[in-house]
Structures are given as structure tokens and as C-alpha cells.
């Protein structure tokens, strides 16, 4: 695999070619990926997959017109042809007065922060096979587990570089390691399925596969013999497995594209109360070894920890340069760039801060309610905030988690849900987006 310096040379070179060929401005992104995964089932090796990819994306501007192209052919003549095609496309594109590179004065200068995102990812197939087998064996060993969909383990390394024609060039490498298991419990038409997985930037930080597998088995067994549930309004507790989904809906509503298009249910809520006063939501791109940490954003701007919601108040939108210009604001360092196309926006390590109440207390105060451990479908209207999703979990009766329930629907409106939300004190940083256990009273439940 190339070094970071070599990757930076490639994007710097293609940007220079574009300027020399007549582009008024340009930027380029280069990514090289190497991944290895092993899957097993019923104690036997099922599949080994290895992939290596290199791809380069170029965006050029001719006045206010722009075009994006990408290629995996990195030969010199092919790159010259790529530049010619991009410029020809840009000259025929419609004008966009908001398009353009990030403000030059805002670009990251100096040495990017070191975030310890790369451990080399040198795991071999034998190591990954042993990890996958250990996860599946632990899951199958749980009493009540009757079948397996398999265990898997993976390791990957990605090197990314970005250059702009007005002065930025930077790159970084990051690795990712994962392990998972999925099993079934019960028999016949009463079988239930569940899974567990873990991921980390460094292999040594990865949760033990035996723990992951046992968790998958216990989850599957716990779902056996689900009870019927009558419809009605009741409190809902979102387990940490699914609570981050609430943050995902919030992110969709504060992204620059949704605000500029006026398609967000939080359209006019900047600087206003959108969550309960106990809620704080932060984004931290500088978390060492974080699953979404990054030294700069997709336009070459510096990134900093930021509070999105403070004591329930919405403090900022997530803006790239184009949406910031349209709103007459400053970009927030949340631009996210793929190989092709213009930047969008995305958070880094987003989290909702812990509350002060133990999850046992949130549950213990409920006479009749639901603990949700799985959400199904995408029944959320980003314009109105209407929320309706399939779910499964457990019945809460007189403060105790009792019988499993499935095939239910939970419904409400996100504006009301945000204001009624109570966080527990059990936040863990296990994923890219994290939230503690959450309780929302008064949701509508439709039973089977």
C-alpha cells in the first residue's frame, strides 16, 4: 500500500493537471482500501474474502459550473483524459451560485492532529478465522441456541488523501477490525434470531470474540416465546442497541441540505429548545482511536469538538461550504466527501451525554411499558417529524423486564419525543454514534 505522502502526491498532481488544463478551481480525493474477512458456520470455514481497491475522484469548476468524475485507472494518460472529460462536462453543466471550494482562509494549516487511527491491520486469515470461530462457538454454547447463521471477523485499512487547488493537501490512514455472530434459538415456527458485533480501530482494543458470541446467543434465547401486546399509549425505553437511532433522525434534520431545501421538521428551531433541558449532544472528531475520528473534513477545513445541543437548545446546523453560503453562515467542518460528487455533511464521533438516572430506575418507575431492543424499517418523515417503526423487545411490568414482545409498532412525532426524552447514566463509546439508554413517555404502541 502507498504511504500517506505518496497518496498526497497523487491528489496534488491531478489538481495541478486540472488547473493547467483550464479549470478555475478543483479538488481531488484519493482512497486506497485493503480488506480481509473470514466467515464460518457451524464450526467450519465458509468464506475468505480479500479486496484491494484504488480510486481517485476529481471535481473541477469552470466559473460557477462544476462536474465530478472518478477513475480506478491511474495511468498518466488516463488521468489527462479524465481531466479533459471533467472540464467538458463542467462547461455544459448548469450554473450553481453556491458551489465552490471552501473559503481559503479557513483551510487547515500546519500539522493535522494525530488521532492514532492506524495499527496497520496486518491480521492474517488464520487469526481472523480463529476469532470468528471463537465468536460462533461461544454463541452456540448458550443453552437454547439451536442453529447458527455464522460468525465472522474482518480487518481493513484505508488510506485517504485530499487536495484543493487553493492550498490544501492532506491525508491519513485508518484501520478497522470487527467480529460478529448471528444465531437462532428454539425450533420450528417458534425460532428466534439475534446477533451481536463489535468493532475497533485497533485490533488490541477489539472486544473479545467470546464475549460478543455469548451476547448474541443470550439475545436470541431471550426472544423466545414472545407475548401478545395490546395497543395503547405507554412509556418506551430504548436500549443502547437502538438509542443512537434517535440521534440519527436528529442529524438528518440539522444537515445543511435539509435546511436549505426547507425539508426539515427543525427548520426554524436554531437557537431554540428542541430537547428536554437535561440533554446535551456533542460531536468530537478528535477522539483518539474513535470510529469516526478525522483530522480534517471533506473540504480541508479543520475539525473541532462542538456542542450541537446544550441544555436542550439547538446551537448549530451541520454545514459544508455550499450550504453555509446559501444560509449566509460559516461552514462547521462537517463536510463529508466520497470519491464522486460534491461534499455532503456527516458528524464524527457523535454522542448524547449521560443523564443522572440509572437505567434500572428508568425501567423501575414504569408500571406498564416496553423496552425496545430492535427497530425495523424506516418509517420517519423528515419534513413533519412523524415517527412510526416496527420494533421488538421486552414487556415492562410493574418495574420489571419480563416477557419478550415482537411485531409491534411504536409511533409518535420526533419533536414531541425529543422534548419528552430522559437519558440514563450508562453511555458507552462502542460505535460511531452513541447514546445512553433513553426513556420516552406517552408513545403510541400498536400490538400484533
Q: Are 150 and 137 in contact (CB under 8 A)?
A: no
Does the pLDDT at position 137 exceed 70?
A: yes
| Ramachandran quadrant class, 106 (left: phi over 0; alpha: psi -120 to 50; beta: rest) | alpha
- Say what angle helices 125-140 and 209-222 make with each other, to 10 degrees: 30
Confidence of residue 103 (pLDDT cuts 50, 70, 90): very high
Copy the grid coordinates of residue 380.
420517519
Query: Pairing state of beta strands 350-352 and 433-434?
Result: parallel
Does the pLDDT at position 105 exceed 90?
A: yes
Contacts with 113 (C-beta within 8 Å, 6 or more apart), sequence order: 286, 295
Confidence of residue 295 (pLDDT cuts 50, 70, 90): very high
Write down the residue that cell numbers 493535522 correspond to: 112
Does the pLDDT at position 356 exceed 70?
A: yes
Report the pLDDT value the prediction gives residue 230, as an integer from 0 to 100. Answer: 87
Q: Catalogue the E-assigned strands of 63-99.
A: 65-71
Does the pLDDT at position 379 exceed 90?
A: no
Contacts with 348 (C-beta within 8 Å, 6 or more apart), sequence order: 283, 284, 285, 287, 290, 292, 293, 294, 303, 334, 432
Q: Is the pTM of this model over 0.85?
A: yes
Q: Are 182 and 195 in contact (CB under 8 A)?
A: yes
Does the pLDDT at position 189 exceed 70?
A: yes
Helix (H) / strand (E) element for 433: namely strand 433-434
Topology (CATH level 3) of domain 4-221? PmbA/TldD fold (3.30.2290)
Does the pLDDT at position 1 exceed 90?
A: no
Report the pLDDT value the prediction gives residue 104, as an integer from 0 to 100. Answer: 95
Chain-wide mean pLDDT for the chain? 96
Query: Pairing state of beta strands 145-164 and 169-185?
Result: antiparallel
Query: How far apart are the C-alpha atoms of 319 and 259, rounded to whole Å?
Result: 10
CA distance readout (Å), 61 to 24, 54, 223 = 6, 24, 55
* Number of other CB atoms surrounding residue 306 within 10 Å: 19
Q: Which of 142, 354, 379 has its CA nearest to residue 249? A: 379
Q: Are 440 and 410 in contact (CB under 8 A)?
A: no
pLDDT tens digits, residue range 345-354?
999 999 999 9
Distance of CA 409 to the CA centre of its chain: 24
Name the β-bridge partners of 281.
309, 352
Q: Where are the alpha helices (DSSP H) in 202-354?
A: 209-222, 240-254, 256-260, 321-327
Q: Are 58 and 82 in contact (CB under 8 A)?
A: yes
Query: How far apart are the C-alpha atoms of 146 and 269, rounded to whole Å?
Result: 51
Q: Are 127 and 205 in contact (CB under 8 A)?
A: no
Contacts with 2 (C-beta within 8 Å, 6 or more apart), sequence order: 10, 32, 159
pLDDT (mean) for 420-427: 97
pLDDT (mean) for 5-16: 96
CA distance readout (Å), 397 to 114, 169, 394, 411 = 49, 58, 10, 20
Q: Are 414 and 387 in contact (CB under 8 A)?
A: yes
% of the chain exceeding 70 in pLDDT? 100
Does the pLDDT at position 182 exceed 70?
A: yes
Range with the poorest average pLDDT among 116-125, 130-139, 147-156: 116-125
Report the pLDDT value the prediction gives residue 228, as an integer from 0 to 100. Answer: 86
Does the pLDDT at position 95 exceed 70?
A: yes
Q: Of 377 and 168, which is predicted with more confidence? A: 168
Confidence of residue 377 (pLDDT cuts 50, 70, 90): confident
- The single-letter DSSP state of residue 191 is -
Copy the grid coordinates of residue 33.
482500501
Confidence of residue 119 (pLDDT cuts 50, 70, 90): very high
Q: Are 432 and 291 in contact (CB under 8 A)?
A: yes
pLDDT tens digits, residue range 427-445?
999 999 999 999 999 999 9
- Domain residue ranges in the chain: 4-221, 226-448
Range with the poorest average pLDDT among 68-72, 90-94, 118-122, 359-363: 118-122
Q: Are 293 and 175 in contact (CB under 8 A)?
A: no
Report the pLDDT value the prediction gives residue 448, as an integer from 0 to 100. Answer: 63
Strand order in the sheet with 169-185: 65-71, 44-62, 25-41, 145-164, 169-185, 192-200
Query: How far apart are the C-alpha atoms of 60 and 344, rounded to whole Å?
Result: 17
Determine the 3-state secondary structure of 250 from DSSP: helix
pLDDT (mean) for 18-29: 97
Name the β-bridge partners of 263.
none
Q: Which of 192, 201, 251 has its CA nearest to residue 373? A: 192
pLDDT tens digits, residue range 198-253?
999 999 999 999 999 999 999 999 999 998 888 999 999 999 999 999 999 999 99
Query: How far apart are the C-alpha atoms of 290 and 428, rounded to whole Å?
Result: 12
Report the pLDDT value the prediction gives residue 251, as an integer from 0 to 100. Answer: 96
Tell the burial category of 243 from Cβ atoms under 10 Å away from its Cβ (0-12, 13-18, 19+). Answer: buried
Q: Of 122 and 421, which is predicted with more confidence? A: 421
Confidence of residue 188 (pLDDT cuts 50, 70, 90): confident
Report the pLDDT value the prediction gives residue 378, as an integer from 0 to 100. Answer: 81
Name the β-bridge partners of 173.
159
Amino acid at each position: 500500500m502507498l504511504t500517506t505522502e505518496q497518496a498526497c502526491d497523487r491528489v496534488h498532481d491531478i489538481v495541478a493537471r486540472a488547473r493547467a488544463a483550464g479549470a478555475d478551481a478543483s479538488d481531488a480525493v484519493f482512497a486506497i482500501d485493503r480488506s480481509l474477512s473470514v466467515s464460518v458456520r457451524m464450526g467450519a470455514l465458509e468464506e475468505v474474502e480479500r479486496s484491494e481497491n484504488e480510486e481517485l475522484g476529481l471535481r473541477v469548476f469552470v466559473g460557477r459550473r462544476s462536474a465530478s468524475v472518478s477513475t480506478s485507472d491511474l495511468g498518466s494518460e488516463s488521468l489527462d483524459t479524465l481531466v479533459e472529460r471533467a472540464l467538458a462536462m463542467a462547461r455544459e453543466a448548469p450554473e450553481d451560485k453556491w458551489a465552490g471550494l471552501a473559503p481559503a482562509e479557513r483551510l487547515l494549516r500546519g500539522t493535522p492532529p494525530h488521532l492514532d487511527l492506524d495499527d496497520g491491520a496486518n491480521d492474517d486469515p488464520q487469526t481472523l478465522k480463529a476469532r470468528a470461530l471463537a465468536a460462533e462457538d461461544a454463541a452456540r454454547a448458550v443453552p437454547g441456541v439451536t442453529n447458527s447463521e455464522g460468525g465472522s471477523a474482518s480487518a481493513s485499512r484505508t488510506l485517504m488523501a485530499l487536495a484543493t487547488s487553493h492550498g490544501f493537501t492532506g491525508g491519513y490512514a485508518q484501520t478497522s477490525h470487527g467480529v460478529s455472530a448471528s444465531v437462532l434459538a428454539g425450533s420450528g415456527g417458534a425460532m428466534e434470531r439475534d446477533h451481536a458485533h463489535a468493532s475497533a480501530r485497533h485490533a488490541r482494543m477489539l472486544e473479545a470474540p467470546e464475549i460478543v458470541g455469548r451476547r448474541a446467543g443470550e439475545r436470541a434465547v431471550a426472544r423466545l416465546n414472545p407475548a401478545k401486546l395490546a395497543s395503547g399509549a405507554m412509556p418506551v425505553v430504548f436500549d443502547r442497541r437502538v438509542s443512537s437511532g434517535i440521534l440519527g433522525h436528529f442529524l438528518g434534520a440539522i444537515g445543511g441540505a435539509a435546511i436549505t431545501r426547507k425539508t426539515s421538521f427543525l427548520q426554524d428551531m436554531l437557537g431554540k429548545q428542541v430537547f428536554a433541558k437535561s440533554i446535551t449532544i456533542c460531536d468530537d472528531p478528535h477522539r483518539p482511536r474513535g470510529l469516526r475520528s478525522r483530522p480534517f473534513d471533506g473540504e480541508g477545513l479543520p475539525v473541532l469538538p462542538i456542542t450541537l445541543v446544550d441544555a436542550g437548545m439547538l446551537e448549530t446546523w451541520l454545514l459544508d461550504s455550499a450550504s453555509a453560503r446559501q444560509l449566509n453562515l460559516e461552514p462547521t467542518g462537517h463536510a463529508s466527501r466520497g470519491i464522486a460528487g460534491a461534499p455532503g455533511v456527516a458528524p464524527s464521533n457523535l454522542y448524547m451525554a449521560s443523564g443522572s438516572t440509572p437505567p434500572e430506575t428508568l425501567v423501575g418507575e414504569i408500571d406498564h411499558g416496553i423496552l425496545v431492543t430492535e427497530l425495523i424499517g424506516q418509517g420517519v418523515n423528515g419534513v413533519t417529524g412523524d415517527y412510526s417503526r416496527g420494533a421488538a423487545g421486552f414487556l415492562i411490568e410493574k418495574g420489571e423486564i419480563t416477557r419478550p414482545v415482537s411485531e409491534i409498532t411504536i409511533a409518535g412525532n420526533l419533536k414531541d419525543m425529543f422534548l419528552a426524552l430522559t437519558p440514563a447514566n450508562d453511555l458507552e463509546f462502542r460505535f460511531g454514534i452513541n447514546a445512553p439508554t433513553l426513556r420516552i413517555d406517552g408513545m403510541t404502541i400498536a400490538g400484533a
